Structure 1
Amino acid sequence: MRRALYEETHDDFRRSFRSFVEAEIVPHHEKWEEAGRVDREMFSAAGDAGFLGMAVPEEYGGLGQADFRFNAIIGEELQRVGAIGSGMCITLHNDVVLPYLMHATTEEQRRRWLPRMVTGEIMGAISMTEPDTGSDLGALRTSARRDGDSWVLNGAKTFVTNGLNADLYIVAVRTNPQPRHKGISLVAVEDSTPGFRRGRHLDKIGLRSQDTAELFFDDARVPADNLIGDDGQGFRILMENLAQERLGLCVSAISAARTALGWTVDYCAQRRAFGTRVLDMQNTRFRLAELAARLDATQCFVDHLVELHNRGELTGEDAAKGKLLTTELQQAVVQQGLQLHGGYGFMREYPIARAYLDAPIQTIFGGTNEVMREIIGRTLEGTYGSGGVA
């Protein structure tokens, strides 16, 4: 049954993308999990099929569909088949990277990059985290010094999604010595930049087909006109785009939870113990019933957040609430699912086992859930304090 969030055009898009996933991703997912990265041909095929840059205006080759529901469908369908690792190159490109290049760039930059990002010729990545900073962007040390018509970058980044396969990296750098966030800028670094190199292919416990790498900049010389936005305005631009990034994580987490609950219900309906189906045991039904109730309620909240975002009304606080709720629920569902699978839940041939390994990162990237709690906590007095509740 179609959720109220979606309309007929979204159903058509879902059918089309589902067919793409079944043909281009599912048959290769296990191979890519072993290799630690996807084949670029799949990403190019996504561009050919119209699944990249849907929000990009038509004048730059996109569909001009600035409707996040299309992005949400992509995330839902990838989680439906348990292949988010292989499809994350698409969701990161659409949900996280493209907004920077659409809204914070010059006309010349948009014409230079956007058409090739829509076709899949260019895969994007964003590089914020450093080995010693984690979620604290104000502590970043990668520097960019202006030298004539270039920026010269020095430093290192880590945990870069699409780190191996990307062609264009949006890199957070410090361009002036002002303290904390005031000196941060964004620079677009192309993979052919002298002095730029990719480091280790990081060995993760989950999402193995999603390539993650270190990046190094040793007097890397980047054209001055690759600066995104104004000098020193990088942190402001990052904050403006984080709400959509976290909304994408909400969609992914709630969809993963729904898929894992489905696997668990099916398994418990087939598995027998002590002469009865596991699903007919009261303890099993009660535990799954609680998770189902939480999932449906949280799904309503996520759908509401998507609607708010489409109206331009999604706040950072609400996005943080969504990320906290959905990712914590995802952990609860996969943990309970693994437990109810018994010993088979520990076998990687069962999708619940792989989901158990993929899930923990959801509470970490996009800002850890501890940071989400801090963001929400700062609003408590004004929202729920004396006289704050209607």
Structure 2
Amino acid sequence: MNPDIYEAIKAEARAMQDSIVGWRHHLHENPELSFKETGTTEFIRRELESFGYRDIQVGFGPVGTGLCTYVGQGGRCVGLRCDIDALPIAEQTGLLYQSKNPGVMHACGHDAHAACMLAAARILKLYEKDLPVRVKIFFQPAEETRTKIFEKPLSGAGYVVRSGALEGVDAMFGMHVWGIFEAGKVFVREGATMMASGRFSLKVIGKGTHGASPHLGCDPVTTASQIVCGLQTIVSRETSPIEPALITVGTIHGGTATNVIPQEVTLSGTIRAAREDLVRFMGKRLGELASLTAQAHRCRTEYSLLINGPAVMNNPAMVSVVRSAAGAILGSGRVKDVDMLTGSEDFREYSARVPSCLYFMGMKDEGKGVGQPQHDPAFLVNDAVLSDAAAVMAAIPFAFGQACQG
């Protein structure tokens, strides 16, 4: 392998900075929701073809968006993954390239992921003859949500796996920009990295009546309020205080008029923990607590729980590969340890099946006003870090090859 390959990758990435920013701004301006990323997929396909890629697979099984392709030769195969979908959020950034799609926004950085992966794909194509392994590049749809096509709802990674696209891949790597981490540094850890999670839906059913005659009905609004307050005791009193766990109610809907007690109220939310079995326990207890609280108020409940899956688990050997690649590009002083994040990611579908590593590129720069958490309607990407992020991604297959030889 070319001993100066990392310097070459770094130089190529920095020379492509304007292109990377241009790609990201285009994607940011034209966001598409999960499973609807048709324009995004076509844009990426055209760019890959301009780099010289020909064997491009569009879609994964029944999902017609997203794509993957190969570069290089060799007995070992490394997967590089980015996600491409946006969120149902009304943007509040005021950017010149703000979303053109009302109510849809790249508020999690997936536009940056796709732009960096395009740059990495171009670099890997330029240095294809030097690659020590085969690289499969995934532009994955629908990280943010799930849809039911078969027996249960799956997110994009689930359909990638089910389509067979992961077969033959020996290791998987993914990068996530992170708004509240210091700009230009890579953050990574071994073991559980992002939480296991589940989603719940709860309907509280009472008896509607006039607001002036509450005694003639059974109020699901006050009952739902009691449930929302009470379910937090599942975390505070039924799980270990030294084990991370979260229950979040994200939506409450009920009522049509100020003077009417409605027939029902619906709630939905998420459950998170470091262990999938703890998520299942909290989900079970949430249903029981809701049912009994409703009974006490002469109401009843309908409850459903979907377990998203286990925590993202970073393989120690693959973490070493990322550290090596990031150190070669950025210098070891810009590679940092990180605590487990309380968010969840469908990268879990890969880490549950092959040795994997999901790492983070920090973006926070107070001088530029960058530092918002993911999913904030004012979320900003720090464009200055993108060439370094692309270079690290392009360096990973080379670092993996060196690790295999060592």
With the length of structure 1 as denominator, give the TM-score of the two structures: 0.29
Structure whose residues are more often helix by fraction: 1
With the length of structure 2 as denominator, give the TM-score of the two structures: 0.28
Structure whose residues are more often strand by fraction: 2
